[in-house]
Amino acid sequence: MNSFEFFSPTKVIFGKGVEQRVGKEIKAWGGTRVLVHFGGGSVKRSGLLDRVEASLKEAGLYYVLLGGAQPNPHLALVHEGIQLCRKEKIDFILAVGGGSAMDSAKGIALGVPYDGEVWDFYDRKANPVTALPHCNIPTLAASGSETSDSSVITNEDGWLKKGYSTPFNRPKFTLMNPELLYTLPPYQTACGIVDIMMHTLDRYFSYGGVNEMTDSIAEALLRNVIHYGPICMEQPENFEARSEIMWAGSLSHNHLTGLGKPGDWSPHQLEHELGGKFDVAHGAGLAAIWGAWAYHVYKADVSRFVRYAQNVWGIQQGDATPEETAVKGIEATRNFFHSLGMPITVAEMLGRRMTDEEIEDLTIKATWYDRRTLGNLMVLDKDEIRKVYQESNVEKM
């Protein structure tokens, strides 16, 4: 087991109706002037925003609203939020929505007390020394942003999508009500299921350390998501299934499933470029690229993929070779993604093949213009990254 640090201080308040406690909780944490940051109209249409505003008013809190958070949240909105917070002397940020609202809220929280350009943090040119406190009411089970230390923002200047992790990104608290997921369209539910699995898979498949406690929690989480995910698709108002997926979503990205060993994260990083360039949903992009990545790298650690096939999918090796069993695990994963209506190649996702120029653009951006390689299960340099994008550039695998 490698040395590790684990710091997940976000207070989780989980259950029916918990969003109505938001005013009281923010007040208890010392907030007085609140930015309420949300996405599109669904938060308004569902009446959630009304309940939030009522709770804030009841607690005697001043607040301003900032909507407009979109999937692959844009830097321009973060800038707008920073300006608004400074003008309104905001001291607490509340995100209401999915990963996009929570991630741009984190960007705003980092940027308000910082004199420079907030993109500096995402671009590894500066480190924050403080941030505004923030909390959230998630309406999606996917990103894990409600308890995670990470935030992903897309810079419209060049469409670079970059994630940044810092303890300052940890929310003070999260109010998680699985009922808020009942109205999610199946496509968004499916994207969330893939994203949750990938937060654990990108930690599970890696090189450079072993932690059995971590691995066995990861496998338990994956089995749960595989079991309850389809129930959420078929029965959108099944409280138990939504609860299991929502809680798995947080545990999958609060780092519990990656302690004491490095993560690989290549699929996430390959997807970030797809998301930034084609503005596709994160979960769909992950489903589309994972298979090509897995086939490209599994021979670097066949035994790991065999363990995955056995412990997560219950595949018995029998007379099969380890390679065959490894492939069965990869296929089971892809078939599962397909059964949720997710694409399993990039060409399938886009409805067309990418051009060579597009692949070259993705490749160079994924290396941060030759400043990095990806992953560790198999280290992917520029040539290997290009190959994975090419291998995913087919209608069927």
Query: Applying CB under 8 A, does 381 fall inside the site for its own copies?
Result: no
Please report how close the Cβ of residue 1 comes to its own copies at its closest, in angstroms.
4
Q: Cα(146)–Cα(11) distance, rounded to whole angstroms? A: 10
Residue selected from 8, 70, 165, 166 as contacting its own copies according to rule CB under 8 A: 8
Segment 242-261, which members bind its own copies (CB under 8 A)? 243-244, 247-248, 251, 256, 259-260
Query: Degrees (nearest 5) of the Cα angle 315, 260, 105?
Result: 95
Residues 167-196 vs its own copies: string with x where CB under 8 A?
-----------x------------------
Question: Which one of 71-79, 218-226, 262-270, 274-282 is the stretch in contact with its own copies (CB under 8 A)?
Answer: 218-226
Closest-CA residue to 349 (of 392, 386, 294):
392
Residue 81 CA, chain-centre distance (Å), reads 21
Question: Which one of 40-48, 198-206, 237-245, 368-376 is the stretch in contact with its own copies (CB under 8 A)?
Answer: 237-245
| Cβ proximity to its own copies, 118 vs 180, nearer residue | 180
Please report how close the Cβ of residue 275 comes to its own copies at its closest, in angstroms.
28
Per DSSP bridges, beta strands 92-97 and 33-38 are parallel
Query: Applying CB under 8 A, does 235 fall inside the site for its own copies?
Result: no
Residue selected from 29, 182, 187, 239 as contacting its own copies according to rule CB under 8 A: 239
Which value, to the nearest 10 degrees, does the dihedral of the CA atoms of residues 33, 37, 41, 44 take?
-30
Query: Applying CB under 8 A, does 357 fall inside the site for its own copies?
Result: no
Q: Which two tokens stand for residue 15?
A: 């259950």
| Cβ proximity to its own copies, 116 vs 167, nearer residue | 167
Per DSSP bridges, beta strands 62-66 and 173-176 are unpaired
Query: Applying CB under 8 A, does 224 fall inside the site for its own copies?
Result: yes
- What's phi and psi for 374, nearest 5 deg? -115, 145
Which value, to the nearest 10 degrees, does the dihedral of the CA atoms of residues 346, 351, 355, 361 take?
-50
Question: Which one of 13-21, 74-82, 83-91, 295-303 is the stretch in contact with its own copies (CB under 8 A)?
Answer: 13-21
Segment 259-278, which members bind its own copies (CB under 8 A)? 259-260
DSSP 8-state assignment for residue 10: P
Contact (CB, 8 A) for 132 and 94:
no
Q: Cα(73)–Cα(396) distance, rounded to whole angstroms? A: 30
Q: Which two tokens stand for residue 213?
A: 């406690």
- The residues of the shown chain that bind its own copies, judged by CB under 8 A, are 1-9, 11-16, 18, 178, 210-213, 216-217, 219-221, 223-224, 227-228, 239-240, 243-244, 247-248, 251, 256, 259-260
